[in-house]
Structure 1
């Protein structure tokens, strides 16, 4: 019998396991991952990791291995235009620095992050079982039992579900969700360009949805390109010439010649919020608890915030001799994270509806709002601190770079 079973061996699941294990080494933790061993090495994507999350990764002792492969975001610019507009005026610019020597975010290759977390997990004695899915979940007395896809069972005092937005554990526990589709899909790919990006991220608000250009190491950028779902599926299926022609219309020419080099994938976009983050002997974290629109680039970082809050809740309860899987203990975590998650979900929903349209009166109003923020330095600093996760008072210790 383990103390904790984490279902989902991505960056959120691995971080949850590490956060607890490093603070409470006596707890036995098992991670269950559906993908075969080594599958993570084939992930070409990169993720935006905010400053507060890099502090947590420093506490884990893995950031020194991740940072050299990552690209700091030095500045971010925001425009609002149509694809046919010959000029895209910049309405808002954010300086990327929030602390001396620390930008508000980095673009981190997924392989670098997951690889470093796996290596650290092995070092501290966390067991990872690959190629298995949770097919059953039940609670009895002081333990939860998971049935795995190889027909084996695993008992533990607490199960942490990090198994994605379509979480099977969440469904098996009977936790309902609020969800709806935006009728949009996000096209994710990587491009190479002729000129250096200088660490500048760009978000172009276009009528079909935001088009984000996120800098990677070298003369490369990661794209999150929002289109209506039918158009996105069509674009992904097109040949390279047509795809790059459409890409160029949105990307522009400031970085010279561009070429799509990565796999093209389209992911349906929607809002999913779990009605509860906990149930007896079960806690949801990451996308299992919330799936939001990528317009703010906060999806992964919400998961890291969950990890920091949940780990602190578990470790402090264990030090007091409390049952770490008891619902009363877990409700502290739910209280800590629920409002922030709901707020971010509502914010991204409103922003997407506000900017993903071509109504002239709405465009005038939103451009006025962007221009107003640009002219108020204190308000800009507040927004960038919130985005970086450094403006939170009384938040989890790990996000402040402190050990639990």
Structure 2
């Protein structure tokens, strides 16, 4: 049977194209199916949405030829400051500070706007001789055979490949059609996302300010602009989002403070209800899940895309090595290597984000005292602090080669 591609990827957001490029570079023929039409990604207009890419993620993007397309528009993350407090009262007495100068590798990461990263991945995919992009079409059925996979698209077209990878988000149709269950819960929180102009320079410093309803992240963008990820209860977030721009700013200012001078809104406003959803299995025969399709977690540590790119690096490495050994890389015993590699790291990350959200998203006076003391203790122990800095940069654990900046 002649196959259309070696590997079929469902999902054209960020992880899908990144995986396609990584696999294409090692000789696989890859087809990416994107539900959105080509012009819907990488829009020119500024909307403030961005990603905090860990240094390891930046290395992967460089290794697959994407970083050269976005590096000039990226903002290095030089410092991260974590504090606890209440709206209108400012941060508590202890601040945990991560300074990139404490490690040798350079900035801990980079802020990259969605419009630049999406466009760079799309351009790289379109230019890659081993990658085919089908846009504006959806998968409506999938059939897993003993040696191949067949996908049926909404347009009526069929595609065949050796295996399929679901990069289609938290409500992954690939996962659902495979009969893989999911575990999770609603956080009762919604993130308000926007961008601001501010009077004073941010100096490449990212801030994570923990308040009882949820964290406020202030993430530096190029120039005197920052991306805001502001978490409130569902009810309060809906109320704030319904306000006009001046009312919205009136709610933000006491939480934000005055350390960057006067602030104003830049671009659009967005809301994202928060939930935890983890696939019970990351694989099935001739099928693998990547990114939010495998694990959607709380954004409290900004690790969603970074975790997805770790999946990309791990799966690309497993499949490439299996192919080089002459193995049938779509078999479940091969894909189990990917699951074993990623499962423990994801479980650790989920546990850490769950614990952090429970610890900080409350106003219990005993817990407030304990966490403030904890922040101060970590900040006062250089070795422990450097360990957290390396963790934030994505430099710990069993890293795939691409995240080390090496080719597979």
Asked if TM exceeds 0.5, the reply is yes
User: In the TM superposition, what whole-angstrom CA distance separates every residue of 1:95-151 from its partner, at most 9, and x where no partner exists?
Assistant: 034654620110001122122222222222211111111111111121111111112
Equivalents in 2 of 1:84, 1:247: separation in Å? Answer: 10
Equivalents in 2 of 1:77, 1:65: separation in Å? Answer: 29
Is the deviation greater in 37-46 or in 291-300?
37-46
> Which residue of the partner structure matches residue 212 of structure 1?
217
8 A contact 1:81–1:206 mirrored in 2: yes
8 A contact 2:90–2:255 mirrored in 1: no
State the Cα RMSD in Å: 1.3
> Which residue of the partner structure matches residue 237 of structure 2?
232
Describe the SS at the equivalent of 2:327. Answer: coil
The one of 8, 13, 36 aligned to 2:11: 8
> Which residue of the partner structure matches residue 336 of structure 1?
341
8 A contact 1:50–1:388 mirrored in 2: yes
The one of 298, 302, 309 aligned to 2:303: 298
Equivalents in 2 of 1:368, 1:278: separation in Å? Answer: 42
TM-score (norm 2): 0.96
Distance change >3 Å, CA 97–CA 60, structure 1 → 2: farther
Equivalents in 2 of 1:164, 1:279: separation in Å? Answer: 17
The one of 22, 25, 47 aligned to 2:51: 47
8 A contact 2:103–2:390 mirrored in 1: no
Describe the SS at the equivalent of 1:38. Answer: helix
Describe the SS at the equivalent of 1:102. Answer: coil
Q: CA deviation at 1:85?
A: 1.5
| Structure 1 residues 4-403: aligned runs within 5 Å | 4-24=7-27, 27-42=28-43, 44=47, 45-85=49-89, 88-97=92-101, 99-100=103-104, 102-125=106-129, 126-392=131-397, 394-403=398-407
Q: Which runs of 5+ in 2 are unaligned?
A: none
8 A contact 2:103–2:386 mirrored in 1: no
Q: Which runs of 5+ in 1 are unaligned?
A: none
> Would you identify which runs of 4 or more consecutive aligned residues in structure 1 move more than 3 Å?
86-90, 97-101
User: In the TM superposition, what whole-angstrom CA distance separates every residue of 1:156-198 from its partner, at most 9, and x where no partner exists?
Assistant: 1110100001101101100111110010001111000111111
Q: CA deviation at 1:87?
A: 5.6
